[in-house]
Amino acid sequence: MQRPRPSLRSAALALLVPLALAACWAREPGQPSGDAIVLNLPIRAAGPGSLDPVRGSTTYDNEACSLVYETLLQYKYLSRPLALEPLLLTEMPAVTEDGLTWRFELRDDVHFQTDACFESPENLEGKGRRMVAEDVIYSWKRLADKSIDTKSWWLVENTIKGFDAWRDERCALQDAAQDEDFDFYASDVPGLRVTGEFTFEVELTEPVSRFAYVLAMFQLSVVPREAVEFYGERFPRHPVGSGPFVLTKWRNSLSLTFDRNPDYHPDYYPTEWTEEDEERGLHLDAGKRLPLADRVVFRCYVQDQPMWLDFRSGVLDYAQIPAENFVDAIDKRTQTLRPEYAEDGLTYHPVPLLDFIFRGFNCDAKTSEYLGGYTDSARKLRQAISLATDFEEFNETFYNGQNIVYDGMIPPGLAGHPEGHRTPAAYTGPDLDRARRLLAEAGYPEGKGLPVLDYYISQSANSQEQSEMTRRQLAAIGIKINPILLEFAQLIDAIDKRTAPMFSFAWGSDYPDGENNLALFYGPNQSPGSNHYNYENAEYDRLYERIRTMLPSPERDALYEQMRDMVLEDAAFIGSMARTRNYLGTSRLRNFKPTEDFWNWPKYLTLETPAGPAD
């Protein structure tokens, strides 16, 4: 597919400053004054892959993008359970009675940050212009542009009237275009209508209940077209948004520095809180203008121990406790901070995750000879492997017993999660006698006649040990596996290409609704989509198409449970576990209420006294 050609100006700049290859990138860093509030925060990776929202897909992309870019809605910082509120809007969207038409009004006081992309003879300083409704429509259209490697089309697929057909038509024209300046965005999408400078409406194909949550996802952030065209292929490393911070330096695999955006629109610390919040002092900055910090430095850690050492020596303002350091900091019996850590003024914040840790099977019979398909042999083989797996042993050995081990794909706290974490439909292990019986019924008594099964898992600190435990547990019933450890991107590539018959990773829910997890088994979402299992069940698909338009109700909850148990009977996966992420904050860090359900919360953080290195 032909990529759009950048403007002559951006192409020339790209020759002069090849940022994509640079080891250190800086943009008017502007050292803050000595009394500035500088937050030093960790990213447990080499950094984000992209700071272009539509190309982002990982937690690390989300963490960084959420400082620079903004969405129409955001989650209330202090609210648990999660609740949405306007961010770029004057009020929550108005929805027609049939649930199909959503009407939006943008705030008129939001400006994009000052940047060279806005420079002109009349605007020598590059002052960012006001955000308007056309910017939202343009940003969402970018989700459809295959030429820029978008990863989140699924968020709006089969959702907005005429959008899918528009995408197919524009991509076909783009492929056929001889003119490199073909404008992918030139025509209108029937369901995306600008009705005024700051107003627009969206018409859905059906009343999709998850649409409000999608509006708060970082991939639907609003970007200015000027920046996309000015920077071209450099745009993923040169974000231009309306958010509280501006990226000023990016040192590959080391750090990213964000400075306060002087053009940031009025935004204020919450004025509603709970008694527990008040006990922790989370109410003290109520009503103050955001952001509260002058600079945020994200420090990158591929390995956990350097992060932990930096935190213990005072470089970082918070850290997630590595599994191997958990018992040093936390009393396992009482689940409280050990006295020596409490005496240092540290605060402990256990954060339950909307987590789905599993072992998956490729159920496509064409590409998975023994484990794929829905014959008695294939189904019973998958059931036997499930019954031989002991997640409680994994939990105790690798997660300090903190995980919630549960049946199904829907995490604790969401509708569709089984009461007491268990359902009779699951083939929950360990039950070796039953596993051996089913293995024999599958045609492989004591594993005879079954070849060694390839098991794909990502490389991490204890992946080798976890894969060896899997090998030992399955060997107890006569099944042999060959663990294949890959970088995460390589693992996903193998799964997308259906070359991994058995695999493992974790899925974090994109929004707090079990529908998100049930979508992982919807037939049309098969690889390279989110249905990595290539699960196919016509009745399941029919029920999914029904529940995606339903509002919360006991009827919908019952359908969630029915669908959950259908997949468990077919044993498309083994699972599950939900982690608790353990955070520690320093005594100087204020307003710290960590979550992994959204990532714009550094704008609420501040320090009691400025401390730590500025960069």
273-306 per-position pLDDT tens digit: 999 999 999 999 999 999 999 999 999 998 889 9
- Running DSSP on this structure, what letter comes out for residue 127? P
For the chain, list the domains and their CATH numbers. Answer: 8-22+70-242 (3.90.76.10), 355-578 (3.10.105.10)
**Angle (CA) 264 265 271, round 5°:** 115
Distance separating alpha carbons of residues 82 and 303, to the nearest angstrom: 31
pLDDT recorded at residue 613: 53
- Would the pTM count as exceeding 0.85? no
CB 416, CB 348: distance < 8 Å: no
CB neighbourhood size of 242 (10 A): 26
E-state strands within 37-190 = 38-43, 73-75, 84-86, 94-95, 101-105
Reduced 3-state DSSP string for 237-249:
HCCCCCCCEEEEE
Q: Is the pLDDT of residue 460 over 70?
A: yes
C-alpha span between 64 and 249 (Å, rounded): 12
pLDDT (tens digit, 9 = 90+) per residue, 533-561? 999 999 999 999 999 888 889 999 999 99
User: What DSSP string describes 347-370?
Assistant: EEEEEE--EEEEEEE---TTT-TT
Distance in angstroms (rounded) separating the CA atoms of residues 489 and 486? 8
The mean predicted confidence, pLDDT, of the chain is 91
Q: What angle do CA 405, 406, 408 make, to 5 degrees?
A: 145
pLDDT tens, position by position, 557-580: 999 999 999 999 999 999 899 999
For range 217-235, the mean pLDDT? 96
Please, what's the largest Cα pairwise distance for the chain? 81
pLDDT digits (tens, 9 = 90+) for 479-500: 999 999 988 778 888 998 999 9
Give the model's pLDDT for residue 1. 33
| Helices within 520-582 (DSSP H only) | 538-547, 554-570
Reported as a single tens digit per residue, the pLDDT across 137-171 is 999 999 999 888 888 888 898 899 999 999 999 99
Percent of the chain with pLDDT over 70: 93
Q: Render pLDDT for 114-140 as a digit per residue (tens, 0 to 9).
A: 999 999 999 999 999 999 999 999 999
The residue type at 203: E
DSSP, res 156: T
Q: Do the Cβ atoms of 215 and 71 come closer than 8 Å? A: yes
Using the Cα atoms of residue 117, residue 67, residue 211 and residue 547 in order, give the sign of their dihedral: positive
The CA distance from 365 to 488, in Å, is 25
pLDDT for the residue 6: 34
Percent of the chain with pLDDT over 90: 79
Question: Can you read off the two tokens belonging to residue 385?
Answer: 């492997």
Higher pLDDT, 614 or 289: 289
pLDDT at 33: 58
Compute the distance between CA of residue 548 and CA of residue 513 in angstroms, rounded to an integer: 10
Distances (CA, A) of 356 to 217, 276, 418, 504, 574: 19, 28, 14, 11, 10
- DSSP assignment, residue 33? P
359-373, 422-436, 520-534: the lowest-pLDDT one: 520-534
